[in-house]
Amino acid sequence: MSHYYSKNPTVSSRETTIKAKLKDREWEFLTDAGVFSKGGVDFGTRLLIETVEITDGDTLLDLGCGYGVVGIVLGAETPAGLITMSDINERAVELAKKNCKKYQITNATVIASDGFENIPHQEFKHIITNPPIRAGKAKIYQLFDETTKYLGHSGSLWVVMHKKHGAESAIKKLENLYKSVKIVNKKSGYHIIKADNS
């Protein structure tokens, strides 16, 4: 069975366009079968976008970008910043590239990468992720471990996770990695977790 956390989804391609209102703006994204939340922007991602606080000039990593929603919407807010978007799913990566082009997000780089495998080592101001629940806890916690190598001292990790998918245990894991771990927003069972060392 193919699912979104696959390098090459085996399900037949069926590209379509979905609409979403995010940050008080109407958006259209190209999506397809075999990618996460293909039928519309999921609630957790919406809550994450509305909660993350960035300033123009920030460097962002959208880890597990899917078809590019987080990186594009937040990238539009930081035209002076640098955006890196990554996903293991090569179909999602191609969609993210097309969606970046549609919205002229010229300061974004989209990379096919299993976790941090192909991401150039640099310090990001923000790493933002809706982690791949289907990949399992061990993979998610490995990603959490690796974020510490890519965040500057004043950088922040932003995670959305539902309570029933292990948000509370994820917080405990992050508390072993970061000085400060806070739930900065919570709605309909989803937790927005912010972790940093400042």
For residue 136, is it within any domain?
yes
For residues 98-111, b (16+ Cβ closer than 10 Å) or e, as one string?
ebbeebebeebebb
For residue 179, is it within any domain?
yes
Task: Please tell me the number of Cα atoms within 13 Å of 43 on its side-chain side.
Answer: 9
- Whole-model pTM? 0.93
The domain containing residue 175 runs over which residues?
Answer: 16-196
For residue 52, is it within any domain?
yes
For residue 23, is it within any domain?
yes
45-98 pLDDT, tens digit per residue, is 999 999 999 999 999 999 999 999 999 999 999 999 999 999 999 999 999 999
For residue 161, is it within any domain?
yes
For residue 108, is it within any domain?
yes
Asked if residue 145 has pLDDT above 50, the reply is yes
pLDDT score recorded for residue 133: 85
pLDDT score recorded for residue 5: 53
Indicate the pairing of strand 82-87 with strand 59-63: parallel
For residue 54, is it within any domain?
yes
Conformational region of residue 34, where left means phi above 0, alpha means psi within -120 to 50, and beta covers everything else: left
Asked if residue 105 has pLDDT above 70, the reply is yes
For residue 6, is it within any domain?
no
User: What is the per-residue DSSP string for 86-149?
Assistant: EES-HHHHHHHHHHHHHTT-TTEEEEE-STTTTSPP--EEEEEE---GGG-HHHHHHHHHHHTT
Q: For residue 70, give the H/E element and its range.
A: helix 69-75
* CA-based nearest residue to 36, from 100, 101, 113, 89: 89
| Residue 68's CATH number | 3.40.50.150
Number of structural domains (the chain) is: 1
